[in-house]
């Protein structure tokens, strides 16, 4: 199994050809899921004692399985937060795999971690945090948020013996991403939401803090603000929230998993004012920095606090901390030990193209949202729910019921034309079903948007 033989060489060439075709294609199919039963019926038993052979298995992939995935980088995939990894980054993802690098400790992964750190320095510079700030690449925004919350909680517990037995409390806004609530469960903390249909303003936050009872106030250790809500691209009042966190002695975390890419865009950078005061920041390069999955990042103003929270101890790990093995150890700053050097594809693509191209590609996403906004205003059967923000556009088809949106989504997906899904927007005390575009791929055209809108007639 580990020998090199003719079959392996041929397979390698086949697989490289597939990868080249996929990387260079410009009209990829959008793809759609099938049930597990249907897939099983198509491919049969694949895991057997003797093996079915590489060529046979690869053909099953090409013929059936591959098509049951949605190409997240299709220009008319505008649902959720799509992706659009650069071709250079995808190529280097292959190199990353082929290089077999353990990315937890410098002793084993120095070359790869060096490259990750070069990319990270650039990301930190976008935030405006002081030079002593630093971060690591994680599996995504969820893991980044969890790593930051654990760091904040451990720091809070280190401040006062009494905090050690207290259950922590998090304040965030109703627009925060679902992962904040999910990760609060993991750390067994309570969450309180500032209810808002727009950004979380400093006054909303102050009111919420002032309304806490004594027990709640002493358990409160972190405020999670959002730098670009997933649903609508709304950026909280980061400057105002930073001041309150300072005054109230609270950890200030900014979740910019989706919006972080917009730190590059001169047209909207001012909206993030105050992010430079954060104690920690989440940014997902696999969203708006054109990296392949999976690549998130967590950045800390004071990385030493993250190390105190996350460094793992074990006799088998002692060598990594020895003088002779000195260097930056990504394992010390987030929840994962063994890790892929998942920042490497980003580094290569940045090195190849330069940061100006990244800026242009992000600005294009913002521009596409403005174009979509105009088209929606022009067409009589649709209207904007709110002005486009960052690259998100929330809009309604006048007169449609929730099931109309669902039906429309499936129909377009079935045809292989587009993937655009419904979402909900608060209307008074109830939630209205509406639809939403999120632009990431700079190859999306005005024509693509028009085609999707016209399918709502």
Ligand X SMILES: *Cc1c(COP(=O)(O)O)cnc(C)c1O
Minimum gap (Å) between residue 403 Cβ and ligand X: 27
Q: Which of 103, 13, 42 is nearest to 343 (CA)?
A: 103
Q: Which stretch binds ligand X (CB under 6 A): 104-112, 115-123, 140-148, 387-395?
A: 140-148
**Which residues are within 8 A (CB) of 433 and not within 5 positions of it... i.e. 6 or more apart?**
400, 401, 402, 405, 422, 423, 424
Decide: is 142 part of the binding site for ligand X (CB under 6 A): yes
Number of residues that bind ligand X (CB under 6 A): 14
Q: Which stretch binds ligand X (CB under 6 A): 119-127, 135-143, 236-244, 317-325?
A: 135-143
Task: State how far the Cα of 224 lies from the Cα of 211, in Å rounded to an integer.
Answer: 18
Question: Among residues 143 and 456, whose Cβ is nearest to ligand X?
Answer: 143
**Which residues are within 8 A (CB) of 223 and not within 5 positions of it... i.e. 6 or more apart?**
170, 171, 172, 205, 241, 244, 245, 250, 251, 252, 253
Decide: is 179 part of the binding site for ligand X (CB under 6 A): yes
Q: Please state the φ and ψ torsions of residue 249, each to the nearest 5 degrees.
A: 60, 50
| Sole binder of ligand X in the list 117, 230, 280, 433 (CB under 6 A) | 230
Q: Which of residues 28-47 bind ligand X (CB under 6 A)?
A: none
| Sole binder of ligand X in the list 86, 117, 151, 226 (CB under 6 A) | 226
Task: State how far the Cα of 383 lies from the Cα of 398, in Å rounded to an integer.
Answer: 7
| Sole binder of ligand X in the list 73, 236, 284, 332 (CB under 6 A) | 284
Angle (CA) 221 232 255, round 5°:
30
Q: Which of residues 158-177 bind ligand X (CB under 6 A)?
A: 177
Question: Among residues 257 and 371, whose Cβ is nearest to ligand X?
Answer: 257
| Sole binder of ligand X in the list 141, 168, 345, 442 (CB under 6 A) | 141
Sheet of strand 392-397: strand arrangement? 382-384, 392-397, 430-438, 422-427
Task: State how far the Cα of 116 lies from the Cα of 110, in Å rounded to an integer.
Answer: 10
Task: State how far the Cα of 292 lies from the Cα of 284, in Å rounded to an integer.
Answer: 11
Task: State how far the Cα of 21 lies from the Cα of 14, in Å rounded to an integer.
Answer: 11
Q: Which stretch binds ligand X (CB under 6 A): 3-11, 136-144, 246-254, 430-438?
A: 136-144
Q: Which of residues 330-389 bind ligand X (CB under 6 A)?
A: none
Question: Among residues 220 and 257, whose Cβ is nearest to ligand X?
Answer: 257
Question: Among residues 190 and 294, whose Cβ is nearest to ligand X?
Answer: 294
Sheet of strand 190-194: strand arrangement? 134-138, 296-300, 280-283, 251-256, 220-226, 169-173, 190-194
| Sole binder of ligand X in the list 30, 78, 79, 81 (CB under 6 A) | 81
The length of the chain in residues reads: 457
| Sole binder of ligand X in the list 75, 135, 292, 296 (CB under 6 A) | 296
Decide: is 148 part of the binding site for ligand X (CB under 6 A): no
Task: State how far the Cα of 103 lies from the Cα of 326, in Å rounded to an integer.
Answer: 14
Minimum gap (Å) between residue 380 Cβ and ligand X: 32
Minimum gap (Å) between residue 120 Cβ and ligand X: 17
Angle (CA) 443 20 73, round 5°:
30
Minimum gap (Å) between residue 86 Cβ and ligand X: 18
Q: Positive or negative, the Cα torsion across 79, 81, 86, 87?
A: negative
Give Cα separations from 154 to 37, 150, 169, 248, 310 (angstroms).
46, 6, 13, 18, 9
Minimum gap (Å) between residue 231 Cβ and ligand X: 9
Question: Among residues 80 and 114, whose Cβ is nearest to ligand X?
Answer: 80
Minimum gap (Å) between residue 34 Cβ and ligand X: 24
| Sole binder of ligand X in the list 82, 85, 103, 140 (CB under 6 A) | 140
- Interface residues with ligand X (CB under 6 A) are 81, 140-142, 145, 177, 179, 226, 230, 255, 257-258, 284, 296
């Amino acid at each position: 199994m580990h020998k090199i033989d003719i079959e392996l060489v041929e397979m390698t060439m086949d697989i490289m050809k597939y990868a080249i075709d996929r990387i260079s294609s410009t009209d990829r199919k959008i793809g759609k899921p099938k049930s597990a039963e249907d897939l099983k019926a198509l491919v049969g038993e694949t895991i057997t004692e003797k093996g079915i052979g590489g060529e046979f298995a690869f053909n099953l992939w090409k013929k059936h399985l591959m098509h049951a995935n949605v190409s997240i980088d299709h220009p008319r995939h505008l649902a959720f937060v799509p992706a659009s990894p650069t071709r250079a980054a995808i190529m280097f993802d292959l190199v990353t795999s082929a290089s077999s690098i353990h990315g937890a400790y410098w002793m084993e992964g120095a070359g790869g971690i060096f490259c990750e750190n070069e990319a990270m320095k650039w990301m930190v510079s976008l935030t405006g945090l002081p030079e002593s700030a630093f971060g690591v690449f994680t599996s995504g925004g969820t893991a980044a948020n969890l790593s930051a919350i654990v760091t904040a909680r451990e720091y809070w517990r280190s401040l006062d013996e009494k905090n050690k037995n207290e259950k922590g409390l998090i304040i965030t806004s109703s627009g925060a991403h679902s992962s904040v609530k999910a990760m609060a469960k993991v750390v067994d903390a309570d969450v309180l939401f500032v209810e808002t249909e727009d950004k979380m303003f400093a006054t909303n936050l102050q009111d919420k803090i002032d309304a806490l009872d004594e027990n709640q106030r002493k358990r409160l250790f972190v405020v999670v603000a959002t730098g670009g809500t997933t649903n609508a691209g709304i950026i909280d009042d980061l400057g105002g929230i930073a001041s309150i966190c300072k005054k109230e002695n609270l950890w200030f975390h900014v979740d910019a998993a989706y919006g972080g890419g917009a730190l590059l865009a001169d047209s909207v950078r001012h909206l993030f004012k105050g992010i430079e005061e954060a104690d920690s920041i989440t940014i997902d390069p696999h969203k708006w920095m054109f990296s392949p999955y999976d690549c998130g990042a967590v950045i800390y103003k004071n990385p030493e606090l993250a190390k105190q929270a996350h460094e793992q101890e074990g006799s088998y790990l002692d060598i990594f901390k020895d003088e002779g093995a000195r260097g930056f150890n990504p394992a010390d700053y987030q929840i994962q030990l063994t890790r892929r050097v998942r920042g490497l594809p980003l580094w290569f693509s940045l090195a190849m193209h330069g940061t100006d191209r990244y800026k242009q590609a992000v600005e294009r996403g913002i521009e596409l949202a403005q174009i979509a906004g105009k088209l929606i205003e022009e067409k009589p059967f649709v209207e904007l729910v709110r002005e486009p923000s960052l690259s998100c556009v929330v809009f309604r088809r006048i007169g449609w019921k929730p099931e109309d949106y669902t039906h429309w989504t499936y129909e377009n997906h079935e045809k292989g034309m587009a993937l655009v899904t419904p979402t909900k927007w608060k209307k008074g005390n109830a939630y209205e079903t509406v639809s939403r575009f999120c632009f990431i791929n700079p190859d999306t055209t005005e024509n693509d948007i028009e085609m999707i809108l016209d399918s709502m007639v």
